[in-house]
Chains A and B, each alone.
Chain A
Amino acid sequence: MSRLLVCAPDYFRIDYEINPWMRLSNSVVPDRAKSQWYELMRVLELKAGSSLERMQPVPGLPDLVFTANAGVVVGRKAVPSRFRHPERRREEPYFEAWFRDNGYEVIKLDGGFSFEGAGDLLGFPNAWFGGYRQRSDIGAYPRLSEIFGREIIPVELVDDRFYHLDTCFCPLSGGELLYYPPAFDPYGQAAIADRVGQDRCLVVPESEALRFACNAVCVAKHVILPVGCPETMKLLQARGYETHPIPLDEYVKSGGSAKCLTLALD
């Protein structure tokens, strides 16, 4: 059974602009944000069968809701994030404290590299991919590879609308990959196609990539994704996945969606 770390959107709002999606003028409607989040939780628990670990929201930290950026967890080891932007660095002690309080061995990255957790480090059981250039530094990956004993293939993110790897790249439980190739340079596209296998690459159209179709949560054969992505749903259904579209447009205002709101713990 999958365990996910989540954080309720009690203080979620747009307080700053650190990605092309955020506009201070485009404020969050708190009630809508809350109902969208609770709907996501409901589907995760009841449809996908996930168990949820809830961390305490903190006033003044609007993006704590995006737990995907807490760090990366494998087994009992957790490497907390080191955010690029000072606005989000204030979240670091809370994520770290949660890992410690929940019995994880916390390993901190040294060397001054930025690394934004499962927002940029995703993969399959045999190969991980690490997004770099926008938020995480490529220099963090050799150390992470050493900590977790996994191969990490760095891929450059070249479109700032897709500023985290999880905005354009979603590994699925059956070994397929849902992704938006133009978010990567030709080297990254070649490396991904080579490792995943062309026949397992499910290419999301641009219009749906911009609705964060790739920011989906895959739990066994369930895929929870934002509404408005019919082509993506067809691709998934053709491979035997059950799709669960959920309205999450309040979070898109901040540059996030379903996946950003969760952190896989196991």
Chain B
Amino acid sequence: MTLAQETVVLKGHIIDSLILAKVLDTVLMMGGTFDLKEVQIGTTREEPSRAKIVVRATSPGLLTEILQAIQPHGASVDRESDCLLRPAPADGLLPETFYATTHLPTQIRLQGRWIEVEAIEMDVGIRVDRGFTSARTVPMGEVKEGDLIVTGREGIRVLPLERPKERDVFSFMEAQVSAERPHGHIIADVARRMQTLRNGQTSGGKAGKVLLAAGPAIIHAGGRDALTWLIDSGFIHVLFCGNALAAHDMEAHLYGTSLGYRLSAGRAVPHGHEHHLRTINRIRAIGSIEKAVESGVIADGIMAACVRRGVQVVMAGTIRDDGPLPGVITDSVKAQAAMRAALPGVELALLVASTLHAVATGNLLPATVPTVCVDVNPAVPTKLSDRGSFQAVGLVMDAASFLRELARELGWKS
């Protein structure tokens, strides 16, 4: 949830007169909050001081009341200007001085009015509609010649996240990466959120979606059953993965192996390395994963559960893919667009056992979406937070253990 905010400036002899204290007290007393952005204190008694204060309130109405109350004490709204728009010089090209976004809620000022930038994500541009009434993020590659693009830094404000009301692991809003911390409470908090979101889906309450970006280690490590159960039970609504997760999931059904290793015995089986290729070939022959499931060729597992439950699946290919399976998007720009299109409504993101998909998904998510990144390799959550997804909670643990524990929290009896 974001707040209404305005920057005010207070100048003069505001320290000894206690005017600054009075203004700040007034803001707090009325239920607002503030950030002291700059305070320049006069070096002599004659020299004035100056304070720049960001005033925040839970609603525009309250903000107006607070501003009206502090205005007689000299707090004047900082002079603001509209954001500067420039036309895109060509298709796929942003104007030289384009504003690059963060994944935090962002507003721009258009014709004297602050408006919210829609579909915020990091590292893209902002395009304004021709009527100057709305603004939306636009990736570089999707820009059309003549599009009005926000440039410079004037008339743009990035709002900090409000601390979530829920007092759980996400309320710290900072990346926590450690293998040495207990995981139990984090998993319990994730489970609680998933339960709430699923209840919302069935009861017409808060109907947010849960996104899972997943890697094939889930299958190798033995997390397939738990994940299948989570999907079948309606806890997962969007799946981002690559060719491998789907291939090994279906290989497990057809051959009982994952990348050639017998899942039950943990041993390589003769010619096992061919199993995933034969699986892919089989599905290609059928035409699609959906048809393979509907025809009963693939009767259980993650992909089958996704088809049965109508989970939105985006499979993004990589350069080393075998096949690939039908449905895998091999054009990475198109894959990115498909992932982006699946994000509206996502209220919780689980990034499990996949460096590429975790970072790609993290880059697309607004900071307002609580995110958990699970990997045995601490470098993955670290990389994610280094790339700006500071809201992601990192869990350094085995993917299968995570999924099993999560499923058990939610009622899975294994």
**Interface check B19, CB cutoff 8 A:** yes
Q: Return the CB mask of A139-177 against B: 1 if under 8 Å, else 0.
A: 101100110011111111000000000000000000000
**Interface check A127, CB cutoff 8 A:** yes
Contact assessment for B72 and A155 in the assembled complex, using a CB-CB cutoff below 8 Å: no
**Interface check A109, CB cutoff 8 A:** no
Contact assessment for B13 and A126 in the assembled complex, using a CB-CB cutoff below 8 Å: no
**Interface check A227, CB cutoff 8 A:** no
State which residues 32-65 of B face A: CB under 8 Å.
45-46, 48
Contact assessment for B21 and A187 in the assembled complex, using a CB-CB cutoff below 8 Å: yes
Q: Which residues of A sit under 8 angstroms from B74, Cβ to Cβ?
A: 138-139, 141, 154
* Most chain B CB neighbours (cut-off 10 Å) among A126, A142, A152: A142
Contact A154:B19 (CB < 8 A) given known A139-B74, A141-B13, A145-B12:
yes
Complex CA distance for A128 and B17, rounded to whole angstroms: 11
Contact assessment for A151 and B46 in the assembled complex, using a CB-CB cutoff below 8 Å: yes
How far apart are B45's CB and chain A's nearest CB, in angstroms? Answer: 4
Contact A152:B18 (CB < 8 A) given known A126-B45, A138-B72, A145-B46:
no
Contact assessment for B48 and A187 in the assembled complex, using a CB-CB cutoff below 8 Å: no
CB < 8 Å: which of B17, B22, B72, B73 contacts A153?
B17
Q: Which residues of B sit under 8 angstroms from A203, Cβ to Cβ?
A: none
Of all chain A residues, which has the CB nearest B25? A187
Q: Which residues of B sit under 8 angstroms from A187, Cβ to Cβ?
A: 17-19, 21-22
Contact assessment for A152 and B22 in the assembled complex, using a CB-CB cutoff below 8 Å: no
Contact assessment for A152 and B12 in the assembled complex, using a CB-CB cutoff below 8 Å: yes
Complex CA distance for A19 and B266, rounded to whole angstroms: 93
Q: Return the CB mask of A239-266 against B: 1 if under 8 Å, else 0.
A: 0000000000000000000000000000
Q: Which residues of A sit under 8 angstroms from B22, Cβ to Cβ?
A: 156, 185, 187
Contact assessment for B46 and A191 in the assembled complex, using a CB-CB cutoff below 8 Å: no
**Interface check A194, CB cutoff 8 A:** yes
Complex CA distance for A152 and B47, rounded to whole angstroms: 10
How far apart are B290's CB and chain A's nearest CB, in angstroms? Answer: 69
CB < 8 Å: which of A132, A146, A151 contacts B45?
A151
Of all chain A residues, which has the CB nearest B18? A187
* Most chain A CB neighbours (cut-off 10 Å) among B12, B46, B48: B12
State which residues 72-88 of B face A: CB under 8 Å.
72-74, 76
Contact assessment for A191 and B18 in the assembled complex, using a CB-CB cutoff below 8 Å: yes
Number of interface residues of B (CB under 8 A): 16
Q: Which residues of B sit under 8 angstroms from A24, Cβ to Cβ?
A: none
Complex CA distance for A141 and B19, rounded to whole angstroms: 12
Contact assessment for A142 and B11 in the assembled complex, using a CB-CB cutoff below 8 Å: yes
Complex CA distance for A132 and B12, rounded to whole angstroms: 13
How far apart are B389's CB and chain A's nearest CB, in angstroms? Answer: 44
Contact assessment for A150 and B12 in the assembled complex, using a CB-CB cutoff below 8 Å: no
Contact assessment for A138 and B19 in the assembled complex, using a CB-CB cutoff below 8 Å: yes
**Interface check A190, CB cutoff 8 A:** yes
Contact assessment for B17 and A154 in the assembled complex, using a CB-CB cutoff below 8 Å: yes
**Interface check A195, CB cutoff 8 A:** yes
Assign chain A's interface to a size class. Answer: 20 to 34
Complex CA distance for A240 and B98, rounded to whole angstroms: 72
Complex CA distance for A238 and B16, rounded to whole angstroms: 30
**Interface check A88, CB cutoff 8 A:** no
**Interface check A84, CB cutoff 8 A:** no
CB < 8 Å: which of A126, A142, A185 contacts B48?
A142
How far apart are A163's CB and chain B's nearest CB, in angstroms? Answer: 15
CB < 8 Å: which of A142, A156, A188, A190 contacts B12?
A142
Of all chain A residues, which has the CB nearest B21? A187
Complex CA distance for A27 and B23, rounded to whole angstroms: 42
How far apart are A183's CB and chain B's nearest CB, in angstroms? Answer: 16
Contact assessment for B12 and A194 in the assembled complex, using a CB-CB cutoff below 8 Å: no
Q: Which residues of B sit under 8 angstroms from A152, Cβ to Cβ?
A: 12-13
Contact assessment for B13 and A145 in the assembled complex, using a CB-CB cutoff below 8 Å: yes
Q: Which residues of B sit under 8 angstroms from A194, Cβ to Cβ?
A: 16
How far apart are A144's CB and chain B's nearest CB, in angstroms? Answer: 9
How far apart are B52's CB and chain A's nearest CB, in angstroms? Answer: 15
CB < 8 Å: which of A133, A150, A153 contacts B16?
A153
* Most chain B CB neighbours (cut-off 10 Å) among A126, A132, A151, A195: A151
Q: Which residues of B sit under 8 angstroms from A138, Cβ to Cβ?
A: 12, 19, 72-74
Contact assessment for A139 and B76 in the assembled complex, using a CB-CB cutoff below 8 Å: yes
How far apart are A160's CB and chain B's nearest CB, in angstroms? Answer: 14
Q: Which residues of B sit under 8 angstroms from A154, Cβ to Cβ?
A: 12-13, 17, 19, 74
Complex CA distance for A132 and B18, rounded to whole angstroms: 14
Complex CA distance for A141 and B17, rounded to whole angstroms: 12
How far apart are A179's CB and chain B's nearest CB, in angstroms? Answer: 15
Complex CA distance for A150 and B48, rounded to whole angstroms: 10
Contact assessment for A195 and B16 in the assembled complex, using a CB-CB cutoff below 8 Å: yes
Of all chain A residues, which has the CB nearest B45? A151
Q: Which residues of A sit under 8 angstroms from B12, Cβ to Cβ?
A: 138, 141-142, 145, 152, 154
Q: Which residues of A sit under 8 angstroms from B16, Cβ to Cβ?
A: 151, 153, 191, 194-195
Of all chain A residues, which has the CB nearest B44? A151
Complex CA distance for A188 and B72, rounded to whole angstroms: 14
| 11 interchain pairs, CB-CB under 8 A | A127-B45, A137-B72, A142-B11, A142-B12, A150-B46, A151-B13, A151-B16, A151-B46, A154-B12, A154-B74, A187-B22
- Chain A residues with CB under 8 Å of chain B are 126-127, 132-133, 137-139, 141-142, 145-146, 149-156, 185, 187-188, 190-191, 194-195
Lowest 4 CB-CB distances: which A-B pairs, in order? A142-B12, A187-B18, A138-B74, A153-B17
Besides A142-B12, A149-B46, A187-B17, 14 more A-B contacts (Cβ < 8 Å) are A126-B45, A139-B74, A141-B74, A142-B11, A145-B12, A145-B46, A151-B46, A153-B13, A154-B13, A154-B19, A155-B17, A187-B22, A191-B16, A194-B16
